[in-house]
Amino acid sequence: MKMPIGSKFFGILLVLACSTMAQAAPLVAARTTDMRDAIDRITIAAENNGYRLVKIQAVDSALVKRGFENPGVRILFIGKASAMEQAQAYYPPLLSMLPLKLALIVRDKEIVVTSDDLDAWKEMFPEPQAHHLIDAWLKDLELILRDYVER
Amino acid sequence: MKKAAQYLTLVLSVLFSVAAVLPALAEEEPPLLNVAIKGKTLDQVTESLINAINSNNYSFVRQQAIDSRLVPTDWEAKSVRIIYFCNFDTMNRALALDTRASEFLPCRITLIETRDGVELMAVNPAWVSLRLGNYRLHEYCVKLKSDYQAIMNEAAL
């Protein structure tokens, strides 16, 4: 079947646009629950993988308290002492990225958890010693988010 | 039908152009914003940084050691500190534009004590937003970046 040139062009554009926009790729996990339960689950998932909850930044209630609309976003900081020590010892600029951050976003009946884009961090810090640490944290975050979804 | 296809093609062309150009521009933005302050202690710089945050219309949120809550308080690192701050109005606008703004919110600056003084480090929000490919968010982030620079430079005075 012969395809009109316009349709071909349209198809190519769609593929190019999608591939270009796919560059930023944080880890994402979602499950049907409410914010309180999601925080509990992420806290447990983090602990199961050697991390501790450092701080919950209640962006949603902070904004509502000041008369703004509820963005349905909370930010959780998680960390582990060894990650801090390794960053300080091997690649101090990485300290500016710690503790690791997870955003919890309300989407209908789901709470979507997204990490920072650690692949972008590799562009930010191209040295091998930085990549070694970032890859380890990326693996940890994958396990934490999998735990959040599956347990 | 033909008109609809032309319209969609036009929309996608614009989308593609913007999405293609913004990440390319990211190479022109430094990923980190750094300022080195010589001859001052961590406590002195912390104080001047909090003053600079307030004078630039932001609210100081908190300060903590880099390993706060990860080790007993007495063991916390004395040489690396994080300062969090925000402007609630601009945070509201950024999150309304794109919830991925949570990647650089709340604002944070890491202070590292060095042999000569203190180094300030922060992720450049304009670098992040260029990668996200949202032009409206990027406009906001360019302003945020200049605010970071103003705060860090003021703290260095």
The whole-number mean pLDDT for each consecutive block of 10 residues of chain A, a chain of 151 residues, reads 47 41 72 96 97 96 95 96 93 93 96 93 92 96 96 80
Cβ–Cβ below 8 Å for B133 and A79: no
pTM of the model: 0.82
- Low-confidence stretches of chain B (pLDDT < 70) are 1-27
Amino acid B132: pLDDT: 87
Cβ–Cβ below 8 Å for A59 and B19: no
Q: Best residue in A20, A102, A121 to probe B by mutation, most B CBs within 10 Å?
A: A20
Looking at the DSSP assignment, which residues form a beta bridge with residue B120? B35, B111
Neighbours of A58 (CB within 10 A): 15
Between CA B157 and CA B153 the distance in angstroms is 7
Between CA B139 and CA A142 the distance in angstroms is 32
A28: contact with B, CB 8 A cutoff:
no
Amino acid A14: pLDDT: 39
Backbone Cα Rg of chain A = 19
B122: contact with A, CB 8 A cutoff:
yes
Q: Best residue in B2, B18, B103 to probe A by mutation, most A CBs within 10 Å?
A: B103
Cβ–Cβ below 8 Å for A120 and B133: no
Tokens of B66: 């880099």
Neighbours of B139 (CB within 10 A): 13
- What's the ipTM? 0.80
Q: What phi-psi label fits residue A2: left (phi over 0), alpha (psi between -120 and 50 degrees) or beta?
A: beta
